[in-house]
Chain A
């Protein structure tokens, strides 16, 4: 099992550009989430999904879109990047049943918006 994979590892964008951060998991987990990590602020939930076709907003959803067409993939879209979106982004997944709620995290994508 590869676990949770994220691409790219690093990305630099100019203000106003768009991009998609990719996340995939091969553990057949129902739940997937996107977090951003900023210095001194821990991790904050952006969006999450409880299954294919079902998504919901987290704590800091503005400026981000998600969709979940398959169990495996949960991409995060930045439609018009802003410097405030400079951060490290983590994708996580967990099983919905009997898994003890443990979230498995990907290695992260470091995004810089200039």
Chain B
């Protein structure tokens, strides 16, 4: 069964500092991997996705993620965070044979001035 682990429940970073959010997945085949962001009281918005090809993918709002098959990881990075990046971030792995998108438990990001 597929699963996703986000080991950090809550991360606090200073505005302008770099960011890395961790995501590890378990999946039997080539995974479809996603990062979503959720602002308070809002739905989820797709930041980026990986299906195949280049293992470094670029997303919206200056985010990128790197797929590392050997480590079963898909970590999200941003070189310099802005106060508006404060939100909850979810990593997900997709099995579209049965339309199942499995989410991690999320990482809440707090930005301090």
Give chain A's interface residues, CB within 8 Å of chain B. Answer: 4, 31, 33, 40-45, 48, 50, 56, 58-59, 90, 92, 100-103, 105-108
Contact = CB atoms under 8 A, between A and B. Distances in A.
A107 B43 contact: yes
B75 interface: no
B25 interface: no
Interface residues of B, number: 24
Contact of B105 (A31, A41, A50, A58): A41
Given A4-B43, A42-B90, 13 more contacts: A31-B99, A41-B105, A42-B105, A43-B44, A43-B103, A56-B99, A92-B44, A101-B32, A101-B49, A101-B96, A102-B46, A105-B45, A107-B41
A42 B46 contact: no
B98 to A, nearest CB: 7
Contact of A48 (B36, B49, B99, B104): B99
Interface of B: 4, 9, 32, 34, 36, 41-46, 49, 51, 90, 94, 96, 98-101, 103-106
B43 A106 contact: yes
- Among B32, B44, B45, B51, the most chain A Cβ lie within 10 Å of the Cβ of B44
A45 B101 contact: yes
A105 B44 contact: yes
A48 B42 CA distance: 21
B32 to A, nearest CB: 6
A98 to B, nearest CB: 12
Contact of A103 (B4, B46, B51): B46
Contact of B106 (A42, A44, A105): A42
